[in-house]
Amino acid sequence: MGEFQRPFLREAFVDTIIFGLILSTLWSMTGPRRWLTLGLFFVTVGATGWLFAAHATDSLHLNF
Amino acid sequence: MTHRLGYWVALTCVLAMCGVLAGGFVVQFAWGEFPCPLCLLQRMAMMLCALGPAYLVLRARRGDVSPVDFASGYGMSIVAAMLGAGISVRQILLHVTGSDPGYGTPVFGLHLYTWALIVFATAIVTSGVNLVFARELAPSRVTHRWPSRLVLGAFALVIAANLVAAGMLEGLHWKLPDSPDRYQLLVDLGWR
């Protein structure tokens, strides 16, 4: 078992969560509630933008 | 006739985005290249972009698509494409200076993030043209359902596959490294 890093809340599992949100938004489209779809869509866009901002303002530790 | 054309245009948009995302998987698994955090963000934006036309296809399966729904669908695509274009430009600017070879292997002479910018620009133009001809292109109820079932099923599969791949890259850690070089979950579980 590798070393388990302490939670870094700013980006905690956000990638995986966002893909889950996208899947949920697609699922919501099969129902009649338009506002549920739009709400989930904008929450997902906000989460993606937030993660991008976190990466864009973080110091880079690149290995290339 | 044009109402059916609007349906097929929306379906083609979803299919095209699935093709681009599948190409990313080919680079990741067949060529053995790991997507960086910005690459994953661009994939997310592409999926969000495809949600707009997918919304229209699903609405057309239930009945006529209203102008409000039509505008919502392509509006979602434009918002997501703007976000994606911003992410692509950021990654292009990271590699634009000096002798930087860029991230990953170029495809047809361009890096994937440059192709992603072209995809987002195309999505914005396509959405704009659709909105200009909204009256003519808003799909009405469709009777042939299997193509939409097939394409939307493939789209859902692509999203789910990316969810699993992102989980594999992150492993039992809370964030993706800036430049991943392994599937962290396999290392964390002691399988590699």
Residue B83 and residue A4: Cβ atoms within 8 Å?
Answer: no
Q: What is the DSSP string of B72-124?
A: HHHHHHHHHHHHHHHHHHHHHHHT-STT---SS--BTTB-HHHHHHHHHHHHH
DSSP assigned state of B156:
H
How many independent structural domains does chain B possess? 1
Domain that holds residue B122: 2-188
Mean per-residue pLDDT of chain B? 88
Report the complex ipTM.
0.88
Angle (CA) B55-B58-B61 rounded to 5° is 150
Report yes or no: A21 and A47 within 8 Å, Cβ to Cβ.
yes
> For residue A7, what is the nearest residue in chain B, using CA coordinates?
B174
Chain B residues within 8 A of A62 when measuring between CB atoms: 178-179
Which one of A22, A37, A43 makes the best mutation probe of the B interface by having the most chain B beta carbons within 10 Å? A22
Per-residue model confidence as pLDDT tens digits over B79-122: 999 999 999 999 999 888 767 788 888 888 899 999 999 999 99
Whose tokens are 């893909």? That residue is A19
Residue A49 and residue B72: Cβ atoms within 8 Å?
Answer: no
Q: pTM of the predicted model, to two decimals?
A: 0.88
Chain A residues within 8 A of B166 when measuring between CB atoms: 15-16, 19
